Amino acid sequence: MNILLTGGAGFIGSHIADLFISEGHDVIIIDNLSTGSTGNINKKARFIESDISTADFEKILRGLKIDVINHHAAQIDVRTSVADPITDLRANVEGTVRLLEYAVNNNVRKFMFASSGGAVYGEQKLFPADENHPKNPLSPYGISKLTAEKYIKFFSMYYGLPYSILRYANVYGPRQSLKGEAGVVAVFCKKLVEGKKAVINGDGKNTRDLVYAEDVAVANLKAMKSDAFCTVNISTAEETDINTVYEKIRNCFGSDAKAEHGAGIKGEQKRSIIDNSLALEIIGWNPLHNFERGIKKTCDWFKWNYKKN
């Protein structure tokens, strides 16, 4: 199949591109390189440097037969979304709607969307949070992801467009960029590679559900193959506090550097653990990497690759 992958030069998107190509699909990557890198792009993919939030991108795609749109391009920084909600809106909502219009006008067979479990649910009331958990996003970024979901469901209801919405937990792994709002794993790995002191915001007791990037790529492959119109969480359903995350990473690097504790960040989510049982039921996916296995592979990548970038 011909797959249009937006954000395919990014951390998560590049893993998805690699897997799709290994399965024999043709991948066309659109990325504006705001957070992505050409070094992440699979050599067998066709790359187009463009921004989906502008009307010009449709001209670039003219004449191409796209079977599936896998939409990962986004403004991903929560703090940027608070400081500049208009830019967040244009990238995450307007960009998605433009892609949806392209999909229905060009007979695209499926629309896939990377959403965010933590950002959409907000401060959880139930643990773990399933897909029916109340949606109370704490930032314009979370609001934009939820709004994009609703547009996708409208286009499906009105035009019959098949879709898969994947609500990711906190994704980590090789290639995670320090651009935008970097994940805590990448931040800690960078500090240890550089021999600098890591800072944990607050007491470090905040928890996250950390899912490995290669597992996320497999979830996308399984969702693409599924006939179900679905919204599913992609997570480990395991809860790890930030202090433990740092200690695991420090041990992988063989470092004795203790982290410092700084001020907590206002509005930061206290606990995040997301139920993944529906993903197993509907698309047949469950994570293959626990945190111990995933963090070792991630640390090894940073040891050998970070200073080269």
Active site residue ranges: 141
First-residue to last-residue Cα distance in the chain = 32
| Whole-Å CA distances, 58 to 108, 235, 279 | 14, 33, 32
